[in-house]
């Protein structure tokens, strides 16, 4: 099984220490905020009902999602 990797280090710099919602089909960040609840609400308002949630670390090094 081949695993596809994504390098988000550059695109996530503006989200340091925040929660983000990623649309699974496009791997695009669709919402961000200080808590998972806020991020889910924002994502659902724009029609993304099952986003992938993760917290962006303050210091972006190696991070496996």
pLDDT digits (tens, 9 = 90+) for 38-60: 999 999 999 999 999 999 988 76
What pLDDT is stored for residue 50 in this prediction?
A: 95
Mean pLDDT, the chain, whole residue set: 88
Using DSSP's 3-state secondary structure scheme, residue 63 falls into coil
Rounded to whole angstroms, the Cα distance separating 55 from 50 reads: 16
Indicate yes or no: pTM above 0.95: no
Q: What residue segments make up the domains of the chain, in order of their start?
A: 15-55
> Has residue 34 got a pLDDT over 90?
yes
Local confidence band at 2 (pLDDT 50, 70, 90 cut-offs): confident
Name the strand (E) or helix (H) holding 20.
Answer: strand 19-23
Q: What mean pLDDT is predicted for residues 2-24?
A: 86
């Amino acid at each position: 099984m081949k695993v596809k990797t994504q390098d988000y280090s550059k695109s996530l710099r503006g989200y340091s220490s925040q929660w983000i919602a990623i649309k699974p089909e496009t791997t695009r960040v669709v919402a961000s905020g200080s808590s998972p609840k806020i991020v889910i609400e924002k994502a659902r308002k724009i029609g993304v009902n099952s986003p992938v949630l993760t917290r962006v670390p303050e210091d972006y090094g190696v991070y496996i999602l």
